[in-house]
Amino acid sequence: MIAITDFQKVEMRVGKIVDVQDFPEARNPSYKLQVDFGPFGIKRSSAAVQPWYSKPELLGRHVIAVTNFPPRQIGPFMSEVLCLGAVQSDGRVVLLHPDVEGELGARIA
């Protein structure tokens, strides 16, 4: 169990994927994403979702991401945010997104 104050430390925000590139150097089939968080800027993320999403499906998609983890080196790429996904029983990852496109950078509470 964690306290609500622990949960409140995790900053999750709405972003929009504005660029998707292949990431052949990644250990698992992945993309390099650029995600626009409005007033919080564009951040980079590595997403191991290539088996389940095509580039056109991702481009323009709204996502939920953790934005206050320290940057993480993924091979030759520095990932700045963690796009959240639900891992299904078959291993498939379903990216989380808001039901309605809202403001970019809006905090998840």
DSSP annotation string for 32-46:
EEEEE-GGG-EEEEE
Can you give the pLDDT at residue 104?
98
Instruction: Find the domain containing 46 and state its range.
Output: 4-95
**Residue 104 maps to a domain:** no
In the chain, what's the furthest Cα-to-Cα distance? Answer: 40
**Residue 41 maps to a domain:** yes
Strand partners, 78: 73
Indicate which CATH number applies to the domain containing 42. 2.40.50.140
- The whole-model pTM stands at 0.94
Q: How many domains does the chain have?
A: 1
Tokens representing residue 32 in the block: 């390099």
Strand partners, 13: 65, 107
The string of pLDDT tens digits covering residues 12-57 is 999 999 999 999 999 999 999 999 999 999 999 999 999 999 999 9
**Residue 38 maps to a domain:** yes
Radius of gyration (C-alpha) of the chain in whole angstroms: 14
